[in-house]
């Protein structure tokens, strides 16, 4: 520290001496020799301390005056700007005098220039920034011509060696070097006291970077000093080829880093020539070495050498075109090229290598090479690498510049558009403040829960600090938009009027007493409580019976908003629970969208096709519905997008399904199931006459003979409630009934048309047997379109007549009537797909029994056929199984075999096995009873002696269900007894091993199917007696119905002759 302080003071004192010299400049010119103010070879002393150094230009040099003037003018330029003019010379004639400051960063150790101009600019920067001489001056040793003074004693082999940290110093180049070791600084100061710029040996340190990293990892208290090589072998850590360099400038420096304040000396070195390290004289510090001049080899192939030189020059010029750093010093590089074009190849190689940013080891290869062509080759390789790096840098810069230019252009256009909108007064979204004000206005009339209000306030505070260009801006805006548009605390007024609700339901839908009664009960409870709570209802029935359309009528009857969405095939749980806000395109779930669209917190939500909900890798939507459809949980329904609880307890949920088998048990348990059965002939006929036919005729421009009824007919209202227990729901017909009648063109007479009742009955019986009326509506519309086509064809034919006849016909035309009868159906809708309800006309063969089945399309007749082949004939491939002889050939104890066909499901296959066991037991019991009573003997071993086959016709149709056990048992017994069952007998029911007849479902549909097939005698389980008694009287009329609790009762009904004989 003391040494550097003394150096600063000495250099400042030298400035004063330089100024004094400027005063005696005229006397020097007169005497022809310089006047010495003080012996500069001795250090100046102030208070016994060393103050600095002053290097003379030389003894007896006639140009000293010019140098002194230049130095004086430069040194005192800050105080008086006209010194150079007084001496008659400018800066170009005298030596350049600049104030040098350390531009090194706090973390670095040395600052060096990669080219001569960079080093010179680094030394010149402080003077250009206006530094004064009092801040510390650097005094160069130059001649009056501006060049370095030649040494007087020739080559000096004994020099002080200084390690270079990262890059070697090339001859003819300049580089900054910082020294911090006190002993080295003291030795350098002693050399400078001799009055002549000293020479030192500059050798590149092999592992300077690794040594600095190692020193940093050791947590040293002082910075690493590379000039101290006392603890290492200099020949191992230094390259043996270096540069003999002259110290041009020297100044003290002070910097602050992680080691605190560091002081030292900064020198500007100028490379003179290459030397080799021969011997270590003293490790020091400072390091004293013996060097010798480096010798170069001669090149024989001058053409090759010339080619290398030309390519090197060309590459340097290419780099200058694209490298911005090279372009900044283009003039300096051009001057160097002009001087080197006709120079020696070693200088050209050194100059080229110094321009690159290669590592120190690669640059040392250039220095160490003694062959000119090899040196040029190595330098050219480094230049090529630099060229590729410059090209890549230019490419990156071009891409970034294009991107920035594009963003700037878009920004300018947006700003211009914003100003244009503002001037026109159409700017509706002028910043975050306007949006926040709009969000707050939405919440003024709403009762927002505290938890939701806290979330909104937090998001608004965050939104106010976001920039429009940020990615989170739009996400937060959408989130606030959803939160503020939700109907917090907004409820629609419920209708507490039973009569009005009944009128609306009866107007739109015929029958449906179960659903209408349930809605009336809901309204009645709301009247007593003063409020109507939400419920979860589930309508289950075949397609086309009106499950979906009844939902809108219920919403109108209750005075609520209506929203419908289907979950059929839904496999993503986010459709119910919403997406996370972090996803792109995230949205809330369906229920939140419903509340936003209806703007009420108590709408009627219809969830359609709940039995067809899917399940995929993105979750189970049916499980997500558990929370929504649970009355004890949906008061705090949490959507993933909103992430705040939403009260859905007052929402009325109505679900629709065709079957309940595919609905998960926990979900089905949360719903109140109301079943809708299929329509019978009378109901379909009433629906067609009152709704389908009138509305279909209006759609095609025809006029019905009988006006359609928008409401329930008066006679239907007066009938007892038990009779119209199920009605038709006409979704499309309901909408058509509300539309106004379009008048026919005035020039054409109105045409009235109708479909006869017998035609409608035939259409329902032979064309449209499904449980719903959707297919019936399609056939009616098809007939009406045919009628419209026929009317237009007739009018076109009439237009071909004479004009007078056409005028007479138009003047006297009256309303025409077109009636479609049963005989005309084949012309309008083609041949009937059903020709008979029975597979067997007349008596059934033995082993065949008529069963009743329920399907999603309604009821159907299911025939069960059984046959047998004797076992010994089956092995020989012959016989029909009717002959009883030969049964004894089969060994005893062989179990009977049963083959089942007809595409039966697993449930029906199990029923067939139970039916076989029960049939064997029944046959054995009755055979023993007949033998004991002396009646006609029965063959108890029939099933063991034959191979049995059971088949259900229409094998292309899958069949399954627990209701065919009674029918299969009867078919097997009919085969074994060779006794056919009654032709008009139809039965349904499941049996147990003990012969119990178990209850089944779908009694109404099965009764309709039996009536359609002409079966007058029906056998139902005893447990289904109540279901049959609830049927309308017109369905029960003319039927002989038996209810059996045990199969013995079924046997007595199916085989009365066998029972009588017993």
Whether 126 and 100 have beta carbons less than 8 Å apart is answered as yes
Distance CA 554, CA 543 (A): 19
User: What is the DSSP-derived secondary structure letter of residue 350?
Assistant: H
Q: Which long-range contacts (CB under 8 A, 24 or more apart) does 313-320 make?
A: 313/337, 313/341, 313/348, 315/352, 315/380, 315/383, 315/384, 315/387, 316/352, 316/355, 316/383, 318/387, 319/355, 319/383, 319/386, 319/387, 319/390
In the residue annotation, 596 being an active-site residue is answered as: no
User: What is the DSSP-derived secondary structure letter of residue 692?
Assistant: I
- Residue 401, classified by CB atoms within 10 Å of its CB into exposed (0-12), middle (13-18) or buried (19+), is exposed
- Residue 105, classified by CB atoms within 10 Å of its CB into exposed (0-12), middle (13-18) or buried (19+), is exposed
Cα 902 to chain centroid, rounded: 49
Distance CA 732, CA 682 (A): 20
In the residue annotation, 1006 being an active-site residue is answered as: yes
Quickly tell me which residue has 């002989």 as its tokens: 1040
Residue 263, helix vs strand vs coil? strand
Q: Tell me the three-class secondary structure of 548-609, residue by residue.
A: CHHHHHHHHHHCCCEEEEECCCCCCCHHHHCCCCCCCCCCCCHHHHHHHHHCCCCCEEEEEC
Angle at 247 between CA 241 and CA 252, to 5 degrees: 120
Active-site option among 1006, 1016, 1052, 1062: 1006
Whether 278 and 290 have beta carbons less than 8 Å apart is answered as yes
End-to-end CA distance of the chain: 136
Tokens of 173: 């180049």
- Residue 939, classified by CB atoms within 10 Å of its CB into exposed (0-12), middle (13-18) or buried (19+), is middle
Distance CA 738, CA 743 (A): 16
DSSP secondary structure letters along 154-201: ---SEEEEEEESSSPPPTT-EEEEEE--HHHHHHHHHHHTTSSPPEEE
- Tell me whether the omega of the peptide bond preceding residue 790 falls within 30 degrees of 0, making it cis: no
Distance CA 626, CA 602 (A): 19
Distance CA 314, CA 304 (A): 15
Buried b (16+ CB within 10 A) or exposed e, 157-166: eebbbbbbbe
Sign of the Cα pseudo-torsion (623, 628, 629, 633, in order): positive
Distance CA 168, CA 112 (A): 10
Distance CA 543, CA 300 (A): 103
Whether 987 and 965 have beta carbons less than 8 Å apart is answered as no
1006: nearest Cα among 839, 859, 861, 855 = 859
Active-site option among 622, 963, 974, 1004: 963
Whether 186 and 31 have beta carbons less than 8 Å apart is answered as no
How many residues belong to the chain? 1062
User: What is the DSSP-derived secondary structure letter of residue 86?
Assistant: H
Kindly calculate the radius of gyration of the chain based on its CA atoms and give it in whole angstroms: 56
Distance CA 467, CA 476 (A): 11
Whether 81 and 47 have beta carbons less than 8 Å apart is answered as no
Quickly tell me which residue has 């100059």 as its tokens: 351
β-pairing verdict for 174-179 and 260-282: antiparallel
Give catalytic residue positions.
963, 1006
């Amino acid at each position: 520290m003391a040494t550097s302080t003394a150096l600063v003071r000495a250099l400042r004192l030298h400035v004063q001496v330089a100024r004094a010299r400027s005063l005696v400049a005229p006397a020097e010119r007169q005497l022809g020799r310089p006047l010495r103010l003080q012996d500069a070879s001795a250090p100046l002393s102030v208070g016994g301390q060393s103050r600095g150094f002053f290097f003379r230009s030389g003894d007896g040099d006639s140009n000293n005056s010019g140098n002194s003037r230049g130095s004086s003018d430069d040194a005192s330029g800050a105080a008086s700007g006209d010194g150079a003019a007084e001496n008659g010379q400018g800066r170009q004639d005298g030596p350049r005098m600049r104030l040098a400051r350390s531009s090194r960063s706090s973390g670095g150790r040395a600052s060096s220039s990669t080219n001569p101009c960079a080093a010179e600019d680094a030394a010149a920067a402080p003077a250009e920034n206006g530094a004064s001489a009092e801040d510390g001056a650097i005094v160069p040793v130059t001649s009056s011509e501006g060049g370095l003074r030649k040494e007087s004693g020739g080559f000096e082999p004994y020099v002080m060696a200084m390690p270079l940290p990262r890059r070697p110093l090339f001859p003819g180049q300049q580089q900054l070097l910082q020294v911090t070791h006190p002993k080295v600084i003291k030795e350098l100061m002693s050399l400078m006291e001799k009055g002549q710029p000293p020479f030192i040996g500059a050798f590149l340190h092999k592992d300077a970077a690794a040594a600095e990293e190692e020193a940093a990892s050791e947590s040293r208290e002082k910075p690493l000093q590379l000039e101290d090589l006392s603890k290492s072998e200099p020949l191992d850590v230094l390259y043996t080829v270096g540069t003999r360099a002259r110290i041009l400038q020297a100044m003290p420096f002070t910097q602050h880093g992680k080691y605190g304040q560091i002081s030292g000396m900064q020198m500007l070195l100028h490379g003179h020539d290459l030397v080799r390290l021969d011997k270590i004289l003293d490790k020091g510090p400072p390091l004293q070495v013996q060097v010798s001049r480096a010798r170069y080899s001669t090149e024989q192939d001058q053409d090759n050498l010339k080619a290398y030189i030309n390519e090197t020059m060309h590459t340097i010029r290419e780099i200058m075109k694209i490298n911005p750093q090279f372009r900044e010093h283009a003039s300096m590089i051009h001057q160097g090229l002009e001087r080197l074009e006709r120079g020696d190849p070693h200088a050209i190689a050194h100059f080229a290598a110094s321009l690159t940013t290669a590592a120190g080891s690669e640059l040392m290869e250039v220095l160490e090479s003694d062959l000119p062509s090899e040196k040029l080759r190595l330098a050219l390789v480094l230049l090529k690498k630099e060229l590729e790096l410059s090209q890549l840098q230019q490419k990156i810069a071009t891409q970034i510049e294009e991107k920035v230019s594009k963003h700037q252009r878009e920004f300018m256009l947006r700003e211009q558009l914003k100003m244009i909108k503002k001037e026109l007064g159409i700017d509706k979204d002028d910043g975050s403040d306007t949006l926040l004000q709009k969000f707050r206005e939405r919440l003024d009339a709403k009762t927002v829960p505290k938890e939701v209000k806290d979330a909104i306030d937090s998001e608004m505070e965050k939104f106010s600090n976001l920039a429009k260009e940020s990615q989170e801006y739009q996400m937060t805006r959408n989130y606030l938009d959803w939160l503020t548009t939700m109907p917090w605390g907004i409820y629609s007024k419920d209708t507490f009027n039973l009569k009005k609700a009944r009128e609306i339901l009866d107007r739109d839908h015929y029958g449906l007493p179960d659903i209408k009664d349930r809605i009336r009960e809901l309204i009645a409870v709301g009247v007593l409580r003063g409020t109507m709570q939400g419920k979860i209802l589930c309508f289950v029935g075949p397609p086309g019976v009106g499950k979906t359309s009844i939902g809108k009528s219920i919403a109108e009857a209750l005075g609520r908003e209506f929203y419908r969405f289907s979950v059929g095939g839904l496999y993503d749980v986010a459709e119910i629970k919403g997406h996370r806000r972090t996803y792109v395109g995230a949205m809330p779930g369906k229920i939140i969208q419903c509340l936003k669209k209806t703007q009420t917190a108590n709408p009627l939500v219809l969830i359609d096709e709940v039995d067809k909900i899917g399940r995929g890798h993105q979750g189970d939507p049916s499980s997500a519905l558990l929370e929504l459809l649970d009355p004890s949980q949906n008061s705090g329904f949490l959507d993933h997008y909103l992430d705040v609880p939403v009260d859905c307890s007052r929402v009325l949920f109505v679900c629709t399904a065709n079957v309940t088998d595919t609905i998960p048990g926990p979900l089905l348990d949360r719903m109140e199931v109301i079943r809708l059965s299929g329509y019978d002939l009378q109901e379909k006929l009433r629906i067609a006459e009152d709704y389908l036919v009138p509305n279909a005729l209006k759609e095609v421009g025809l006029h019905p003979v009988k006006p359609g009824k928008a409401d329930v007919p008066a006679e239907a209202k007066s009938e007892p409630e038990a009779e119209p227990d199920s009605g038709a729901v006409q979704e499309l017909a309901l909408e058509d009934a509300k539309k106004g009648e379009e008048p026919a063109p005035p020039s054409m007479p109105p045409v009235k048309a109708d479909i006869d009742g017998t035609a409608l009955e035939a259409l329902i019986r032979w064309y449209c047997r499904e449980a719903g009326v959707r297919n019936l509506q399609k056939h009616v519309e098809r007939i009406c379109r045919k009628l419209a086509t026929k009317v237009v064809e007739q009018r076109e034919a009439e237009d071909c007549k004479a004009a007078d006849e056409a005028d007479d016909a138009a003047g006297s035309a009256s309303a025409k009537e077109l009636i479609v009868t049963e005989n005309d159906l084949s012309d309008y809708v083609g041949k009937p797909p059903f020709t008979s309800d029975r597979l067997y006309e007349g008596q059934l063969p033995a082993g065949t029994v008529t069963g009743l089945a329920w399907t999603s399309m309604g009821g159907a007749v299911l025939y069960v056929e059984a046959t047998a082949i004797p076992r010994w004939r089956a092995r020989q491939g012959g016989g029909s199984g009717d002959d009883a002889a030969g049964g004894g050939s089969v060994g005893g104890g062989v179990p009977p075999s049963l083959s089942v066909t007809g595409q039966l499901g697993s449930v029906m296959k199990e029923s067939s096995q139970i039916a076989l066991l029960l049939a064997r037991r029944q046959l054995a019991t009755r055979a023993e009873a007949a033998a004991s009573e002396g009646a006609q003997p029965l063959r108890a071993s029939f099933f063991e002696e034959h191979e049995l086959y059971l088949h259900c016709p229409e094998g292309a149709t899958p069949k399954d269900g627990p209701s065919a056990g009674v029918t299969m048992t009867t078919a097997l017994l009919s085969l074994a007894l060779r006794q056919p069952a009654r032709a008009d007998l139809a039965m349904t029911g499941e049996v147990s091993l003990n012969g119990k007849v178990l209850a089944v479902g779908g009694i109404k549909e099965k009764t309709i199917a039996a009536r359609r097939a002409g079966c007058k005698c029906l056998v139902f389980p005893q447990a289904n007696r109540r279901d049959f008694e609830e049927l309308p009287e017109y369905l029960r009329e003319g039927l002989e119905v038996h209810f059996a609790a045990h199969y013995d009762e079924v046997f007595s009904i199916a085989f009365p002759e066998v029972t009588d004989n017993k």
